[in-house]
Structure 1
Amino acid sequence: MMIRAAMLVVMAAAVAAFPVSAATPSGDASRDALKQRAEAGDVQAQVALGKALQDDGVPADKAAGADWYRKAATAGSAEGAWMLGSTIMAGVGVTRDVPTAIEWMRKSVNIDPNGDRMAVLAVSLLSTGGTQEALQWAQKAADKGSSKGMEVLAMARLTGEMGVPKDTALAEKLMVAAAQKGDADAQLSLGQIYLTGLFGRHDTTAGMHWLQTAADSGNAKAEGTLAYFLITGKEGAPVDAARGVALARKAMAANEMLGHYAMGVAYVTGSGIAENPAEGWYQISLAQRMDSQQQLKSAADYLAKAEAKLTTAQLTELKVRVDADAAKVAQPSGS
């Protein structure tokens, strides 16, 4: 994984890291009771009602849900401000407005200094170019023990691209600390960094250990990544193609791009499974469609190898199949 790709993993994981804590009522009677409390000024009920409305599957209710978040936020609720900011950031029921979203998120963590939410704020600020403030929030998050805050700081030190001096030793220390806290995304990034030598040295043993740890937790990206290394032996990884194929299948079941890619490579090379150029071409092409960040740099080589064994008619049929299936599995890739 390249450094920028690792940062994208951190960003995506941080943004997705925080489920809403408000309870969702069940049944019309519960909804009515919640609405009564919300209308009486109970900010917890306002947030819970906002979530219920936004999650009930009725498009028209999404805007009403955002309005209840706004009422709670205006009344000084940290949860309300956070949910309003998150809703505006995602454009759910309201027009997407990143600066306004960040302002509400900032208000939330100023009311309730939640370390993990500070890390999300830092990532959001990075997306707008607010590097200096982002690093300040990331540091505050890390000081509170947030693994996501540690990851952001680690990537800053690893790249030297965010206004702080490059310091690979400190970057490693921060990443290890985040991984040891049980953060599967940190474990995934750490494993890849060790394997690719971005700390200034290759450490295959440590790299495979952290990838396996992340995969053992059920992280689909880690399963797909580990599968690729086990199938190909890249970066000095020990080859265990059969286990790699099994992991690739698990990642594919979770709709993970890297699972499709690893399986495609296995089919093209005949590693751990019978060689099948057509299926390999299909899986790799499907992975490319899912790869919004264009991280699959070696895909063209594997596709060319498969194409050399396919007829024009086969390729035409495969392209139709990919076109038909791409919309079903398309996902933003942070890998």
Structure 2
Amino acid sequence: MLIRPSTSLHRFRLFLLCAVAFTAPAGLYAQTGLPGVDEPVAVKIDDQPAAEQNEIDEGAAAKRGRITPFNGAALPEGEIPPLQSPEEARKADQKALEPSNGVNVLERMGAALPSLPKEKPFTGKADDAYGAFQRGYYLTAMELALPRAQLGDAAAQTLVAEIFSQGLGVARNTKDAAFWYGQAANAGDPGAMFKYALMLMEGRDVPRDKKRSEELMKKAADLGNSSAQFNYGQLLVADMPGEKGLKAALPYYEKSAEQGIADAQYALSQIYLNVDGIDENKRSMARGWLMRAAKAGFDTAQLDLAIWMVDGIGGERNLEEGFKWMLRAARGGNVVAQNKLSHLYINAIGTRPDPVEAAKWYVLSRRAGLKDLALEDFYLGLNDDQQKAALSAANKYRSS
């Protein structure tokens, strides 16, 4: 059975086990300076001692004049740059205080800035039905879309199917939804193809038809539907276990990952790192894709990213960041992360040792069914007060 994105992890990891038994890094800013830059410097004006300079009033300075900024051209022999009048000096100071609008590369090169391209006018016809749907006016959307759907409009058919499927403003009717998804799929709508392919694969509200399902899934994937791309990759891996299937699915995972599907991003990280024959440039991107999946909230990606950072897989070791990602996955309910977080607390990896926190996370993982003899021995070795504190913390965490 095909699983929608973000729920297919266990299946994908099983495929990987059969096959193999980015955010850019923040820039480093170096703070450099010259000796004595921050120290006060004594300068003499005319013949006055440096100690008396602070007593010079602005009027006296203006009377002596200031050298006007010079463009660098050679002056005739004997001439000196002109002096600014007090009023000119005041205006120059005022201008210097004005906020800068920034200087771009073209300005620094002395070239004129190109004019902005004209915005292309929208020549298409606004879809009132989808507009009503997006604003939450579901009955209006249905009234506008249904007549078009009955005339064969694929987009309208998909919208009607979605309204029936979710029961938005009307009674939920999955059979009617399946009918309209089928109509829209036959009319060429990629989103409807994906939804109808899932129904055909599962035999939900329509007769089960694996062959037709795979045909529609591939067609939707080739038309650019990101969810179909990921799921068609899953089909290829299921039909061809091992590296052959993973390599066949790779282009579809890549396209889906680029469109933001976290499951596909996770899949890329595993394939790039573990499958033989992968280009080294792609292999170096494995952790970056894993990071993107983790940031999207994929808890298993968060777990794996924590392990990679602690163990130095796919990049340099970073114990503190590894601990943070393990904590995030554990708080999200990942039982394996809760178990491993306990070990990190015990061994002070990326954090300070904390026996009560370690015991709390062990209790939570044990209650979820994950046994660990080493952690059980650790827990039994705690004193009564520590065990009570850990149990209390675990109980409060579960009820929160």
Q: Same fold (TM over 0.5)?
A: yes
Aligned to 2:179: 103
Paired with 2:167 and 2:190, the residues of 1 have a C-alpha distance of: 24
- SS of the equivalent of 1:75 reads helix
Equivalenced residues, count:
266
Aligned to 1:268: 343
Q: Where has structure 1 moved over 6 Å in runs of 4 or more?
A: 200-205, 234-238, 284-289
Paired with 2:190 and 2:253, the residues of 1 have a C-alpha distance of: 16
Contact 2:272–2:285 (8 Å) recurs in 1: no
Aligned to 1:48: 131
Paired with 2:312 and 2:246, the residues of 1 have a C-alpha distance of: 23
Aligned to 2:286: 210
Worse-superposed segment, 148-157 or 272-281: 272-281
Cα–Cα, structure 1 residues 190 and 157, in superposed 2: closer, same or farther, change >3 Å?
Answer: same
Kindly provide the CA deviation profile for residues 160-193 of structure 1, in whole angstroms up to 9, marking residues without a partner as x.
Answer: 289xxx8343123433454456654312122234
Which amino acid in 1 is paired with 2:343? Answer: V
Paired with 2:350 and 2:185, the residues of 1 have a C-alpha distance of: 49
Percent sequence identity is: 17
The yes-or-no answer on 1:175 pairing with 2:253 is yes
Kindly provide the CA deviation profile for residues 245-279 of structure 1, in whole angstroms up to 9, marking residues without a partner as x.
Answer: 33456668xx8445x86466234323211233543
Contact 1:88–1:100 (8 Å) recurs in 2: yes
Aligned to 1:72: 145
Kindly provide the CA deviation profile for residues 215-235 of structure 1, in whole angstroms up to 9, marking residues without a partner as x.
Answer: 247422176144332356498
Contact 1:267–1:274 (8 Å) recurs in 2: no
Paired with 1:287 and 1:74, the residues of 2 have a C-alpha distance of: 54
Please give the residue correspondences for 1:1-335 in structure 2 after superposition, counting only pairs within 5 Å. 8=3, 10=5, 12=7, 44-53=127-136, 65-66=138-139, 68-69=141-142, 71-76=144-149, 77-111=153-187, 113-127=188-202, 128=204, 130-160=209-239, 167-179=245-257, 183-194=261-272, 197=274, 209-216=285-292, 218-221=295-298, 224-230=302-308, 233=311, 239-248=317-326, 256-258=332-334, 262=337, 265-270=340-345, 271-280=349-358, 282=360, 299-301=370-372, 304=376, 307-308=379-380, 313-314=388-389, 316-325=391-400
Paired with 1:305 and 1:207, the residues of 2 have a C-alpha distance of: 40
Q: Which runs of 5+ in 1 are unaligned?
A: 14-41, 55-64, 290-295, 326-335
The structure with more radius of gyration: 2
Which amino acid in 1 is paired with 2:397? Answer: V
Which amino acid in 1 is paired with 2:194? Answer: A
Cα–Cα, structure 1 residues 231 and 321, in superposed 2: closer, same or farther, change >3 Å?
Answer: farther
Cα–Cα, structure 1 residues 11 and 251, in superposed 2: closer, same or farther, change >3 Å?
Answer: closer
Paired with 2:292 and 2:145, the residues of 1 have a C-alpha distance of: 40
Deviation at 1:66, TM superposition (A): 4.9
User: Which structure is higher in helix share?
Assistant: 1
Kindly provide the CA deviation profile for residues 143-176 of structure 1, in whole angstroms up to 9, marking residues without a partner as x.
Answer: 22334323222211211289xxx83431234334
Contact 1:70–1:84 (8 Å) recurs in 2: no
Paired with 1:79 and 1:72, the residues of 2 have a C-alpha distance of: 9
Which amino acid in 1 is paired with 2:237? Answer: L
Deviation at 1:46, TM superposition (A): 3.8
TM-score, normalised relative to structure 2 = 0.51
Contact 1:194–1:202 (8 Å) recurs in 2: yes
- SS of the equivalent of 1:220 reads coil
Deviation at 1:135, TM superposition (A): 1.0
- SS of the equivalent of 2:135 reads helix
TM-score, normalised relative to structure 1 = 0.58
Deviation at 1:243, TM superposition (A): 1.9
Paired with 1:138 and 1:184, the residues of 2 have a C-alpha distance of: 19
Q: Which runs of 5+ in 2 are unaligned?
A: 9-124
Cα–Cα, structure 1 residues 257 and 179, in superposed 2: closer, same or farther, change >3 Å?
Answer: same
Kindly provide the CA deviation profile for residues 36-89 of structure 1, in whole angstroms up to 9, marking residues without a partner as x.
Answer: xxxxxx9933443344336xxxxxxxxxx2574265134325444333323433
Cα–Cα, structure 1 residues 286 and 316, in superposed 2: closer, same or farther, change >3 Å?
Answer: closer
